[in-house]
Structure 1
């Protein structure tokens, strides 16, 4: 025997981040896992049928749902409706951690400094493969063809491969305009 009422909808938890909460307007960003056309439309339709909600807009690219509601008196009802749909508020993650952003920012700044100090002749995309290449030559000269530990040819390959990957855009054929 089923103890659930007919109106109860079984939903999975959808993690969302509250982006903006101004009087009469609430905007949230849905986690990547639920950013599908079907899921976003399902949420929008369910919210639109709520009596305290005037309008619901979705942006699939950003994963955001904007809810226009009747004001402060209806805000608690909107939160309840979101909860009934399985939406819980938390950190959805944006793909990069703060540490990754910090490291990337540091490397970008260092690259700018190197480029500025050499008047644009040399940058880290050149220096990094060059450094690996020099390290491979040094290792070859000091240790010979030693194949039991990282051999010189692996470092030489990394030098060559990183040079190609770091210069992929600049080596692509230019299209005529």
Structure 2
């Protein structure tokens, strides 16, 4: 007969249930992005990219005998696990991660690294343009203006054509990008009721 530290068999299911409930509130979404022999790389979802959470997972993994090295990158949410590449190792790693509260899911929230890099480059360029023009204009004005100039050029050079890229498409993109980049807001209601 099995006993537990509480001396009662009826207490054990309650303790397991409480542990499961407390563990479920700490669920961490992650995705396996690379699985090569001897190396596994995970991407942790953006809301869970806290130093304490990722470090806790890394420390628990590093304590396992079948894992040689664990590297983390908090900013990118990456956990790289180098292991002994034996047959059951991957299964053991997945079990350990599941026990730590990791849920394997397709992570779609947030932006990709490429999108973030492009966005940062454009924001930096926009800041340089604003500094150079002392805040008079920025890329939100230059881009639609450039498309408008292209539209007028196409109209003057080619006339009212309907093949390739007609002038009215460029004119529409100029107008549309200006509106989207400047964010039209709805007028505030003056009701005091």
TM-score using structure 1 length: 0.52
| Distance in structure 2 (CA, Å) of the matches to 1:62 and 1:47 | 24
Q: 1:58 aligns with which of 9, 15, 26?
A: 26
Q: Aligned residue for 1:34? A: none
Gaps of 5+ in 1: 1-44
| Distance in structure 1 (CA, Å) of the matches to 2:131 and 2:156 | 34
Aligned length: 124
Question: Contact (CA 8 Å) 2:140, 2:182: kept in 1 or not?
Answer: yes
Q: 2:170 aligns with which of 139, 155, 159?
A: 155
| Distance in structure 2 (CA, Å) of the matches to 1:148 and 1:78 | 58
Detail structure 1 runs of 4+ shifted over 6 Å in the superposition.
Answer: 88-91
Tell me the secondary structure at the aligned position of residue 95 of structure 1.
coil
Question: Could you say if the C-alpha distance between residues 62 and 98 of structure 1 is closer, same or farther in structure 2, counting changes exceeding 3 Å?
Answer: closer
Matched, 1:48 2:33: no
Listed as ranges, the matches of 1:27-42 within 5 Å are none
Aligned CA RMSD, in angstroms, stands at 4.5
Gaps of 5+ in 2: 1-15, 29-45, 65-91
Q: Aligned residue for 2:114? A: 99
TM-score using structure 2 length: 0.48
Q: 1:127 aligns with which of 136, 142, 145?
A: 142
Question: Contact (CA 8 Å) 1:47, 1:81: kept in 2 or not?
Answer: no
